[in-house]
């Protein structure tokens, strides 16, 4: 007997990741598009507690960095200049939760110099900030797309199962068509007929729409099965005998029964849709620069010098693996409980 999967580690990780995405502006030390052309491809800076003379400091600090005269494009640390970490400092303006204007950041460093804890990119933009802002894009694209496809799938499935007959036959043929096709081909085919150049907001919602409208088939099939059996139950027939309307029966008696199927499907669909957004953005068909979707961050790895010598660009991949794992584990734990 395999022990039931424990639910808490995965759920805690999921909550932490989504909270980080929600608070991206506050947690990120800089704005995602803020450039510094004098700090191109700076490797991650080490946070230190012990200085050059071996003295211990209670406040973490980093050494200032100068371009290395001996290695063009390289940097070296200047042990003479310590930049201390400060909590809750004012910095680049941003909007908390996308609405409230704010300037306060969780942390910052002394001195006017920008510090890159996870390295910087071709334009000297902070990768940590870009991963955090990118989480907001990629994670919420997955959530919204899943909500959309679950809503469509539940509506279609409930209608098909409840009404039966030719409605059911027609809708299920459509479901089979969508389920049979390779999803990535389907996604790209839909994307092919939408404009290539869009503002990031337009692109985000179009993308979410396309992803969501492709994934509705499987939840529809499952919900249909439940609706089919629900409409023959005694209490449904009784309610119908008392003259309840179709809408009332669907909302009051059929839909509540689909809850656990919908939740399980959500745990499967959300990571898949996050990945769909990341993939499209990676291919250059999703949201565009300078908005930092994880797919756009990963696309940097297609440059051979980045792949070989700028290992810190694999960090978004790590975040992506963590999110996928957490959703899979949460879904399994849910299944074990059910």
Partner 1 sequence: MIGRLVLRRAAAGLLLLLGVSVFGFLLAELVPGDPFDPGRLEGRDPAAIELLRARYGLDRPLPQRYLRWVSLTVRGDLGYSLSFDRPVAEILRVRARNTLLLTGIAVPMAWLLALVAGIWAASRRGRWGRTAFAGATSLLLAVPDLVLALGLLLVAVQSGLLPTGGLRSLDFEALGPLEKARDLAAHLVLPAAALVLSLAPRLARYVQASVAEVLAAPFVDALRAAGIPRRRLLLRYVLPAAGNPLASLVGFSVASLLSASLLVEIVMSWPGLGPALLDAILARDVHLVIGAVLVSTLLLVAGNLIADLLIYALDPRIRSE
Footprint on this chain of partner 1 (rule: CB under 8 A) = 2, 176-177, 180-185, 188-193, 196, 275, 278-279, 282-285, 298, 301-302, 304, 307-308, 314, 317, 320-321, 324-325, 328-329, 332
The helix/strand count (H/E) of the chain reads as 13, 4
What's the closest the beta carbon of residue 272 comes to partner 1, in angstroms?
10
DSSP per-residue string spanning 65-117? EEE-SSSTT-EEEEEEEEEEEEEEEEEEEEEETTTEEEEEEEEEESSS----T
What's the closest the beta carbon of residue 136 comes to partner 1, in angstroms?
19
Sequence-distant (≥ 6) Cβ neighbours of residue 279 within 8 angstroms:
184, 295
- Please, which residue, 41 or 162, has the CB nearer to partner 1? 41
What's the closest the beta carbon of residue 149 comes to partner 1, in angstroms?
17
- Please, which residue, 196 or 251, has the CB nearer to partner 1? 196
What's the closest the beta carbon of residue 150 comes to partner 1, in angstroms?
21
Q: Cα separation of 279 and 277, whole Å?
A: 5
- Please, which residue, 167 or 301, has the CB nearer to partner 1? 301
What's the closest the beta carbon of residue 264 comes to partner 1, in angstroms?
16
Cis peptide bond N-terminal to 290, omega within 30: yes
Q: What is the CA radius of gyration of the chain?
A: 25
- Please, which residue, 205 or 314, has the CB nearer to partner 1? 314
Backbone dihedral angles phi then psi of residue 37, each to the nearest 5 degrees:
-70, -5
Neighbours of 200 (CB within 10 A): 15
- Please, which residue, 147 or 317, has the CB nearer to partner 1? 317
């Amino acid at each position: 007997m395999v022990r039931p999967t424990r639910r808490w580690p995965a759920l805690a990780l999921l909550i932490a990741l989504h909270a980080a995405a929600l608070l991206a502006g506050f947690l990120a030390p800089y704005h995602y598009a803020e450039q510094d052309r004098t700090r191109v491809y700076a490797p991650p800076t080490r946070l230190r507690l012990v200085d050059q003379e071996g003295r211990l400091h209670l406040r973490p600090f980093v050494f200032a960095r100068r371009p290395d005269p001996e290695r063009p494009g390289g940097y070296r640390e200047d042990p003479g200049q310590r930049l201390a970490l400060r909590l809750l400092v004012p910095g680049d303006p941003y909007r908390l939760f996308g609405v409230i204007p704010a300037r306060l950041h969780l942390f910052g460093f002394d001195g006017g110099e920008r510090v890159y804890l996870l390295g910087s990119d071709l334009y000297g933009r902070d990768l940590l900030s870009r991963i955090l802002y990118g989480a907001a894009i990629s994670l919420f694209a997955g959530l919204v797309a899943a909500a959309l496809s679950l809503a469509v799938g539940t509506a279609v499935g409930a209608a098909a199962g409840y009404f039966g007959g030719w409605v059911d036959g027609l809708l299920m043929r459509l479901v089979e068509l969508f389920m049979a096709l390779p999803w990535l081909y389907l996604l790209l085919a839909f994307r092919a007929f939408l404009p290539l150049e869009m503002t990031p907001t337009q692109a985000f919602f179009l993308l979410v729409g396309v992803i969501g409208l492709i994934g509705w088939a499987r939840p529809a099939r499952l919900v249909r099965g439940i609706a089919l059996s629900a409409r023959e139950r005694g209490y449904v027939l009784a309610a119908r005998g008392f003259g309840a309307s179709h809408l009332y029966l669907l909302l009051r008696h059929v839909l509540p029964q689909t809850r656990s199927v919908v939740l399980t499907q959500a745990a499967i669909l959300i990571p898949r849709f996050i990945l769909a957004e990341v993939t499209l953005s990676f291919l250059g068909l999703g949201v565009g620069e300078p908005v930092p979707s994880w797919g756009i961050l990963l696309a940097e790895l297609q440059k051979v010098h980045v792949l070989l010598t700028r290992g810190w660009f694999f960090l978004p991949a790590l975040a992506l693996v963590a999110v996928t794992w957490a959703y899979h584990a949460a879904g399994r734990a849910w299944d074990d409980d059910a």
